[in-house]
Structures are given as structure tokens and as C-alpha cells.
Structure 1
Amino acid sequence: MGRPTSGIAWTAAIVGGMRYDLNHLHPYIWEVVIPGKEKSDKHPAVPERKIRVNVSFGLHCFARDPLPSERVSDDCWYQDNRERRVFCQIRWELSKQLPGIIATLAERRCMHTGREEFVTLEVPYQGRTLEYAVFFTVTKAGRADRADLNLFVNSAHERYDPLKYTKPIKFHFILLNRLQGKPIKPPPR
């Protein structure tokens, strides 16, 4: 991982006297290399492209809404500057895989939800395999971000209901379109 950049550097959660470190969700700059293409009869050569991406993670990666009629003790709450949610040990445990998942987005099935992109994959957890959905947005970065693009992981959690989105989008396509300010059309439902 690169050095920290803009975004929230989460402080550890202390729940029931246990410390849950969140350093793996600190923001960082990631340099993505999009391979070039050699000249062909139909297309000119395209040089390799390096894009600096500011990666950051949201509260929903390790916290959840309270369950109906759930009584939540004061030390189980975690909040940012927008909302307060219940710290979730399962989401926190699964979130440790997020930096590795982000690093391999070019090799994964990214899909469009109509508002943002996401990737879903099967991950092992406590002897079973579960479907883990990682919802992220990619936007153009401002000058202060020291990057070309921002990738914000809005939420990451186990899926219990089947996903409706099936048409994949290449991650490099997402990056290039966002960098050039081009829209990405959601697939028809």
C-alpha cells in the first residue's frame, strides 16, 4: 500500500473491552497500470497508462444498521461525521480482505448497479463460503487529492439475496471512462 492520503484514517473500535484495529482500512494511493496495445491494421498503438487512484473506505465496511428491536450497548456504536452504526465483528473480519480485493479488481467481475459499480465474490469465512459484495464508486479526483481518481468503497458485506446485475464491466474501462469524464451506461434490466 502507498502512503496515506485524503480520506478517513479510522481509529480502532473498542467493543466489550476488545480492540478491533482498522489500519487496513486507512486511505492510500494506488498506482494502476493499464497495459498498452500494439498497433494493428485497424487500430493505432496505445501506450501504457499509469493512473494514480486514491482508495478510501466507508463506515459500512465494518458497521451495520441495528437489527429490529436490537438493544445495542453504548460501546458497540461507531460513528463518522455523517452517521452512527453498530460495529459488526463479521464485517470487520471480512474487511481485512478488502485491500487484496481492491488490488485485483482488474481480474474480477465488476458490475454496474445503476448508481455505482460493485464486485461480488465468494470468500471463505469460518468454514463456509459466502457471497461478499463490495460496492464502490470511482470519481475524478481534485488537485488536493494527489491522484487522478478516487475509489471509495461505500460498503462491503455478505449478500443474502441474489444480485440482479449480471453484465460485467472491465475495471480498466471504468477507470478510463471516469478519467475522461465519459458516462458508463448501466446495462438494461
Structure 2
Amino acid sequence: MSITCPCELIGRDLLIEVDFANHCYTEKFVEGVHTIEQILLTEAEDRHRVFCPVRYGLSKQLPDLIKELPKCRVHQTSQSRNYVFVVPLKLQGKPYEIYFMLQRSAGGTAFDLRLTVESAYIDDDGSNVRRRPNKIRFVVLAHKVLTNQPVKFAPR
């Protein structure tokens, strides 16, 4: 899918290509909890993924939630190249956290940026936002990524 993001600094909307990774509907294989027959895919020799009905159910809302990103703020994760969009959609009293990477598109495409939703889930330990207090408006982040500017947050 694709979304547009207003960018006043360059005088036009940015066109952003959006992809969704399998972590949006799968979870880590846990021996004793899952069976070998449940493994859907293997990312590395010892990193197996199984279908997760909760993540899958929530993933159906991802396209509409991603369309709202240009109106929202996102938080930086401990990996500075990734961000998290915390949706106040409450399930089991916990927010839905959408982890994504935003980068410039490869040359030769009609898109300005590429957004990859790496993972989306309800955090069993509660929201990670308290550990990631740094936030930025998505429109500012998009412009910084497009113009290859560093994204700087105040020290924690």
C-alpha cells in the first residue's frame, strides 16, 4: 500500500510505499508452548515463527492505522533506525505498538520513502513508551529521512 504525508518544507506531499513484515501476524516459536508442526517460517537456523491469531486479528487494522501516521507522533526505539507508533487502542488494557523503519526509496521508483512495518503487537509487559520517552511528529521524521538529516532527540 502507499500513503501520502504533507511536507510543507518542500511544498508537496511525500509518497510513501508501505510494506508489512511477517512479525505483524506471527510470533516467536517457543518450545513447549508450540509444536514443530506450527512453524510457518524460519528466519535463521534457530529463529522459527508461528501463526499468532491475536497479532493476525489486529493486523487487519494496520492499513487504516498507518494512514493516520502523518497526523501523529512516534517514538524512537533503542535501535535508532526504528520507531514505534503507539496506538491507544486498548486490548487487555494494553496499547497496540507498531514498530517500523522509515528510509529513502531506492532510485527509479515513484515513491519518496519506504516504510516497513517490522512488527506490531500488544506488549505483555505493558507499553514500551515509558522506556522510549523521545517522540517526534511523523511529518518531521519523514522530512528528515527524505533530506538525509540526522534525527536527534534530547538526552535521556
Q: Provide the rounded CA distance (Å) in 2 between the counterparts of 1:124 and 1:146.
A: 36
Q: CA RMSD in A?
A: 2.2
Aligned residue among 149, 172, 178 for 2:113? 149
Contact 1:112 1:187 in 2 (8 A): no
Tell me if 1:170 matches 2:137.
yes
2:83 aligned residue: 117
How far residue 187 of structure 1 moved from its aligned partner, in angstroms, is 4.0
Aligned residue among 22, 25, 33 for 1:62? 25
Q: Do the aligned partners of residues 70 and 177 (structure 1) sit closer, same or farther apart at CA in structure 2, a change above 3 Å counting?
A: same
% identical equivalent positions: 24
Q: Provide the rounded CA distance (Å) in 1 between the counterparts of 2:31 and 2:65.
A: 31
How far residue 100 of structure 1 moved from its aligned partner, in angstroms, is 1.1
- Count the aligned residue pairs: 149
What runs of 5+ residues in structure 1 fail to find an aligned partner?
A: 1-27, 37-45
Deviation string 1:41-86 (CA, Å, 9 cap, x unpaired) is: xxxxx56322111100111100001234223252x32227766401
What runs of 5+ residues in structure 2 fail to find an aligned partner?
A: none
2:5 aligned residue: 32
Contact 1:110 1:168 in 2 (8 A): yes
TM-score, structure 1 as length reference = 0.70
Q: Which has the higher strand share?
A: 2
TM-score, structure 2 as length reference = 0.83
Tell me if 1:89 matches 2:62.
no
Task: Please say which structure displays the higher CA radius of gyration.
Answer: 1
